[in-house]
A and B are shown apart, each in its own frame.
Chain A
Amino acid sequence: QVQMVGSGGGVVPPGRSLRLSCAASGFIFSSFGMHWVRQAPGKGLEWVSGLSYDGSETYYGDSVRGRFTISRDNSKNTVFLQMNSLRAEDTALYYCAKENGGSSLDFWGQGTQVTVSS
């Protein structure tokens, strides 16, 4: 079955960096776009970033554009999110998700917690 396991979260002070990873299995990883969606405590879902099946096209939300970079390694079935210049408002549970086409996300990981605090 489809599984996505996130890692790399933690507690960091403002201005620092973190790199999230999401290892996928159970489907042909290299055939699907992948995305990161975050959820701040007690808040709704916010789309963060996505990339095409081959990584040639990348997309970012306004709040992270220029600070975050998404990438993938199809040989390792893994998608990454490099987060630089972190701010308190980036504190959230970060989900990786598989794209089903047309921007719908049909499988989600369990979430990786990122806390930005001094």
Chain B
Amino acid sequence: QSALTQPPSASGSPGQSVTISCTGTSSDVGGYDYVSWYQQHPGKAPKLLIFEVNKRPSGVPYRFSASKSGNTASLTVSGLQAEDEADYYCSSYAGISNFVIFGGGTKLTVL
């Protein structure tokens, strides 16, 4: 099973909004409402930002929002802050055979 497709990089200035896309197929992103997003700072373990397409775990700022349309999910970071500079990964449930599939990751740079 191929990885979900994310742009390798994204950028924005402080205070701006940035949207990162995550494209899969009807067998993963489009077939289930089980898309997650993770943030990973260098040398650190990933942190769950979004689960079940658009739900935020406790403690995740409202600046992080997400949605899905068809086979493509999106993460929007509003009011960019310097600490938002990190790698972002999407993932999706992909059925019993493959269970979880990740995107290739997007490096977000705050200019």
Contact = CB atoms under 8 A, between A and B. Distances in A.
Physical interaction between A and B: yes
Given A95-B45, A102-B93, A47 B102 contact: yes
B46 A95 contact: yes
Interface stretch (A16-24, A76-84, A107-115): A107-115
Contacts of B32: 102
Interface in B20-59: 32-34, 36, 38, 40, 45-48, 51-52, 57
Interface string A65-98: 0000000000000000000000000000001000
B3 A50 contact: no
Given A44-B105, A45-B89, A45-B105, A100 B100 contact: no
A56 interface: no
Q: Is the interface of A mostly helix, strand, loop or mixed?
A: strand
A31 interface: no
- How many chain A residues sit at the interface, stated as a range, is 20 to 34
A118 interface: no
B74 interface: no
B98 interface: yes
Nearest to B103: A44
B111 interface: no
A109 B45 CA distance: 7
Contacts, number: 74
- How many chain B residues sit at the interface, stated as a range, is 20 to 34
Interface in B71-111: 87, 89, 91-93, 96-105
29 contacts: A37-B46, A37-B102, A44-B3, A45-B38, A45-B105, A50-B99, A50-B100, A59-B96, A59-B97, A59-B98, A62-B1, A95-B45, A100-B48, A101-B51, A102-B33, A102-B34, A102-B51, A102-B52, A103-B34, A103-B91, A103-B100, A104-B34, A104-B48, A104-B51, A104-B52, A105-B38, A105-B91, A107-B48, A109-B45
In the A-B complex, the 5 residue pairs with the closest CB atoms: A104-B51, A103-B93, A108-B45, A102-B34, A47-B100
Interface of B: 1, 3, 32-34, 36, 38, 40, 45-48, 51-52, 57, 87, 89, 91-93, 96-105
